[in-house]
Structure 1
Amino acid sequence: MTLKKIATLLVFIAFSSGLVSQNTVGVISYNQNDTYNGLTLFTSLTETYLINSCGEVVNQWTSAFPPGNAVYLLEDGSLLRAGKVTNTTIMFGGTGGIVEKFDWEGNLTWSFTMSDDTTIQHHDIFPMPNGNILILAVTIMSNAEAIQAGRDPNLLTDGVLFNEQILEIEPLGINQANVVWEWNIKDHLIQDFDVTKDNFGVVENNPQLLDINFLGGLSGSENWLHMNSIQYNNNLDQIVMSARHMSEIYIIDHSTSTAEASGDTGGIYNKGGDFLYRWGNPQSYRQGTQNDQKLFGQHYPHWIPDGLPNAGQLILYNNGFSRTPSFSEVFILTPPTTAPGVYDYTSNTAYGPTATDYTYTNPVDPINFFSRILSGAQVLPNGNILICDGDSGYFFEIDSNENIVWEYINPSGATGILSQGDDPEGIPNLVFRAHKYGYDNPAFTGRDLTPGNPIELNSGINEPCDVLSTEEFAFEDVTVYPNPATDVIKVNSTHQINKIEIYNSLGAIISQVSNSNEINVSSYNSGIYFVRISSDTRSITKKIIKH
C-alpha cells in the first residue's frame, strides 16, 4: 500500500465515522509552522501549475503538448518546458520532441522541435546559466553500426540500438537554435566480445567506459540505457546523468570542445568525454556483484545547490524498481574526491562511497513508499526535503526528523480534473518531477502572486489550511457570534472583512456575502457548518452550530 493509498484510507475512515471529510486530492495535510513556505511547480497533461502550500494556483501555463517531460521556472519568470510530439519511429516511455519557452503571462516566446526518424528529445532538459539549454536525446545506431561498435548480435533483438546524446543549444529567433556542444555515449564504449570490432578491451580495467554488452537486467532492448535525467553543476562545469536501465549515474566533463567530448583527453579534467565518475551498480564494469548494487531504476540525481544544507553533495530518488521487495528511497551521497571535481578511484575496485550519507525510507513500513517510474527529491532551504512519488502524483515534504509536514495529491488525471472527495486511486495522475521555489526567487520579483482557486473542482473548504489549522492560519482576533446560532451570525475583527462564506459539512459553499460583517443562516437546517472569513489575501475558517 502506497503512502497515497494510506492517506485515502484515512480519509475514508474519517468520513465513515461521521467526521467532517478531509481532502482526498490537493493538499492532504499541512503543518504550517514546519513546511517551507514556497511555491511548487509541476506539469500534468498540457498544464503546468505553480501552487502555494494551500494548493491554490498562483500561476498556470498551457501548452498544446503533453509533457515531454522536464519543466523549469527561469529567473526572469519564464517557463522552460519539454513537450511530447508524435513520433512513429522512436517510441518509448519518456519521449518528448519539442522544447518550449513561455513568458510569465503564458505567451509562447520560443520553441524548438527535435523529432524525426533518427533522433528525438526525451525526458530532461536543463537551462544553462549562459542562456543556452542542454537537451537529452537519443539517436539511432543501425544494426551494422551497433555490431561494428562491438554489440553482440544476439543482443540486438530490436535490430537497432539507441545512442544517448547530450546537446547544448543556443536558442535563436522564435523556433531555431544553434548546436554549440555535443556528447554521445557511442564514443565512450568498450567490449570484450569481438576482437575484430571497435572498442575491444578489458572491461574491468576501463571503468571510464561503458560496456556495450552489459544489459542491466534487460534482454537486448534497443532502449538499453534509458537515460532519464541530466543536471549541470556550474561550479565544476560537469553534467550528471542517470541511466535507469543500467541502475547507474555518470558524471562527465562539460568544459570540453565537441571534438574533445568524443575522445578521452581534453577539458579541465583531461579525460575528454569519458566518465569522470559512476556509481550505483559496479556489476556494469565488473567490480562487484548483485549484492553491491545500490541503485534500482533511479531518477533525478543532482548536486545540492550552494547555500543549502549538504551543498555540493548528490541527492537522488532511488525508485527500487526490479528488486524484491520493491520500495523507494531518497539518497544523499558524497562522491570521494581528491580535489573539487576530481573523483578518487582505486583500480580494480568499485567507485565509492560504499554507503550513503543519508537515506530516507518510509519509517513505518518501507514497502509502503514505492514509485516504479518518474519521481525526484529536492533539499529545501530550511533543511526539509520535498519528495515526488511520481507514479501516484503524490508530493510530500519531510522535516529533519522525517515527519511529514506537507502532502499533496495531483488532482489532474487522465479522466480530467478531479473534484474534492473523489478517490484518486487508479486514475493516472503522473508527475515527472515537482520543484519548490522560495518566495525570494528572482522569478517572482514584481509579480502578482495573489492565489486563485485550487486545481481540484468543488474545492469548498481547503481543510488542511482552514479547518485543521485555524489557530495558526491568519488573523487570530476574529470572533464569530452567536455560536450556536439561530438566525444571524456576526463577525467581529479589527480587520476589514471582505467576504463571508458558509460551507456545509461536505465542503460545498451554500451562501456568501461581500463587504459585510454578518450573514443570515435562519433558513439552514440544524447541524454543523463552516464560516470562512476573508480579509485581503488572508482567510480563516470557524466551525459553527446552527440550532
Structure 2
Amino acid sequence: MYGNLNSTTARLLDENGTIAKQWNMSGSNAYAMALKDNGNLVRSVVNNGNQLNGAAVAGKVQEVDPSNNVVWEFVYSTSTYVTHHDLCLMPNGNVLLIAWYNPGNAALQALGYTGNQNKYPTRIIEVQQNGTGGQVVWEWNMLDHFIQDVDPNKPNYVVISDHPERMDINVPVSSLGGPGGGGDWFHVNGIDYNPDLDQIAFSSRLLSEIFIIDHSTTTAEAATSSGGNSGMGGDFLYRWGNPDNYDTPGTQVIPAAVHDVRWIKPGRPNAGYLQFVNNSALGNTGTTIDAIDPPLNGYTYTRTPGQAFTPSTYDWRHVALTGNSGQSASDRMPDGNTFVAISNGYMYEVDTNGNVVWQYADGPQKAFRYTCDDPGIIALLGADPCGLNTGVEGSTGTAIGISPNPTTGSLFLGGLSLSSIRAITVMDASGRIVSRPAPQRTIDLGTHQNGWYLVELELTDGRHLFERVVLNR
C-alpha cells in the first residue's frame, strides 16, 4: 500500500499489480500512510497554511474509511511546531508523529548553541482520537536532551564522549538545513514502535544515525534523564551509525542518508533486529537494506565505556537492485522475503536467495507490504482476500489426507483416488502459484523455501479441496 507524495490517492495492490483498493481523497498526501485493523487508512496530510516548512512537511493527520470519508483529523501546525515525514500506528489505536519544534535561537543559545540561525529540534508526539479530532497524550523533545562542551558556565556543559545518551547541540550535520532548507536541523524521517519493549526507534538523515528512546515514561519523565522502564527517562537508549556524533572512535557505518528504520516483527527471520534503508552505503546511489541486532539488556542496551555502540557493522544486508540517495522503505516478510520500495525507482520483493518474486513500476517515498492474513486487509477485501481458503470442502469422509505434515520436502497424497483429481496446485503464503504437478501420489516441495503452502485439489466433480502444509527442511 502506498500513496505518492503530494497526490490525493492511495493504492492497495495485489500480487499481480492490480489495484485491489484505491482511496480518492481531498488534500494532498504528505509522506506516509498505514492501514488500521478496521480497514481504515491513516495518512499524513499537507495542511494548508503551514507556517513552518521543510521537506515532507505535513501538519495534519487523518483517518479515512474505505468510502473516502474522514473519520477524524488532527492539525498540528502553528508558528512553533508542525508535523513532517513518517507516522506509526500503535496497538492502542494512537498514532506516533514526528514534528519540528521552533524554540527560537535565543533558547538554543542559552543551551550553548553556537549558531545564529533558527533551528528546529525534533519532537515526537503520540496522538489519540478524540471524537472527530485528536489530542496529544505523550510528547518527547530533543530540546530537553542537549549537551555542549563550549561554555563551562552552562549547566549542560559536559564531556561529549561521556554522554552518548544525549545530543551535542553543536554536532555537525551532513548538510546545513537539510533538503527542505530553513530550520530542518536533523531531518528525522522514519519512526517505529516496539510494543514488547514500549520503545520508539527513529532515523535521522542529517545525523546519519538511528536512535531508540523509551516510551514507557510520562511526558514529564521524557524531559528528564530518569524514569520509565529503562530508568533513563527521555535520553537515548541506543544510537547507531555515526559514533563521531558523540565524539567516540568508530566507523561511520551509515555514510550519508538513512530512512525507514523499523523493528523486524516477531515470528519473522531476524525478529527484533532493526532494519533500515542505508541510502548511500555503496556510493551516491548504491543503496542497501541493512539490519542490525542491537545489544539489548532488559530495557537498555550494553555499551563499553569509551567505545561505540555495537555491532561494528551490519548483521544482515541486501544490496538494493536500484538506488536513491534519499527516501525509500523496506520490510521483512514472514517467509524471509524482503520488500523494497526505492523512491523514484520501483517496488520489488526478493526471496532469501535474492531472486525477484514481485515487482511494480512505481517508486513512492514509502510503502507498506501487508500479508494476506492482516486484519486490515481482511476488513477491506473479505475473509479470504488472497484466495487461500484453508478449509476442506466436501462430504463427510472425504479428505485430502496429505502426510507427513510438517514435511521435509516430500508429501504423500492419500484419501482420494487419482482418477477423481483433475488438477493439483501448490501456492505459497502470498498466494503465488509455485507448482502445478500432474495428478500423482507424491508432491515434491524439496526445491522451495521453508514456510507454509496451500495444496489445492480440483476434483472431476467440480469441487475444490484445500490443505495447508508446512515445509521445514
TM range (shorter): 0.7 to 0.9
Residue 324 of structure 2 is matched in structure 1 by: 371
Deviation at 1:61, TM superposition (A): 1.1
Residue 203 of structure 2 is matched in structure 1 by: 242
The answer on 1:200 being equivalent to 2:152 is no
- Aligned partner of 1:369: which letter? T
Residue 167 of structure 1 is matched in structure 2 by: 125
The answer on 1:264 being equivalent to 2:216 is no
Q: Percent identity?
A: 33
SS at match of 2:106: helix
Larger radius of gyration: 1
Distance 1:324 1:316, change over 3 A: closer
Gaps of 5+ in 2: 386-432, 440-459, 463-473
The answer on 1:327 being equivalent to 2:286 is yes
The answer on 1:140 being equivalent to 2:80 is no
SS at match of 2:339: strand
Deviation at 1:41, TM superposition (A): 4.2
Q: Which runs of 4+ in 1 moved over 6 A?
A: 471-477
Distance 1:65 1:376, change over 3 A: same
- 1-side partners of 2:157 and 2:169: how far apart? 10
Distance 1:112 1:356, change over 3 A: same
Q: Deviations over 1:90-143 (max 9, x none)?
A: 221111011010112322111111112111111112221112221211111211
- Aligned partner of 1:163: which letter? P
Q: How does 1:166-185 map to 2 (within 5 A)?
A: 166-174=124-132, 176-185=133-142
- Aligned partner of 1:408: which letter? Y
Distance 1:213 1:495, change over 3 A: farther
The answer on 1:67 being equivalent to 2:25 is no
Residue 352 of structure 2 is matched in structure 1 by: 400
- 2-side partners of 1:433 and 1:475: how far apart? 38
SS at match of 2:344: helix
- 2-side partners of 1:359 and 1:442: how far apart? 30
Deviation at 1:324, TM superposition (A): 4.3
Distance 1:287 1:495, change over 3 A: farther
Residue 349 of structure 1 is matched in structure 2 by: 307
- Aligned partner of 1:171: which letter? Q
Residue 167 of structure 2 is matched in structure 1 by: 210
Q: How does 1:60-99 map to 2 (within 5 A)?
A: 60-87=22-49, 89-99=51-61
Q: How does 1:33-48 map to 2 (within 5 A)?
A: 40-43=1-4, 45-48=7-10
1:370 and 1:389 in contact (8 A); partners too: yes
SS at match of 2:239: strand
1:147 and 1:197 in contact (8 A); partners too: no
Q: How does 1:299-338 map to 2 (within 5 A)?
A: 299-320=259-280, 324-338=283-297
- 2-side partners of 1:98 and 1:373: how far apart? 23
Distance 1:225 1:198, change over 3 A: farther
- 1-side partners of 2:283 and 2:34: how far apart? 34
Residue 505 of structure 1 is matched in structure 2 by: none
Distance 1:382 1:42, change over 3 A: farther
TM-score, normalised by the number of residues in structure 1:
0.67
Q: Deviations over 1:21-70 (max 9, x none)?
A: xxxxxxxxxxxxxxxxxxx4444511000010111111111222222211
SS at match of 2:226: coil
Residue 338 of structure 2 is matched in structure 1 by: 385
The answer on 1:440 being equivalent to 2:373 is yes
Residue 279 of structure 1 is matched in structure 2 by: 240
Q: Deviations over 1:173-203 (max 9, x none)?
A: 11x2222111000000111122234521111
What is the total number of aligned residue pairs between the two structures?
390
- Aligned partner of 1:82: which letter? S
Residue 229 of structure 1 is matched in structure 2 by: 190
1:148 and 1:198 in contact (8 A); partners too: no
- Aligned partner of 1:160: which letter? N
Distance 1:270 1:448, change over 3 A: closer
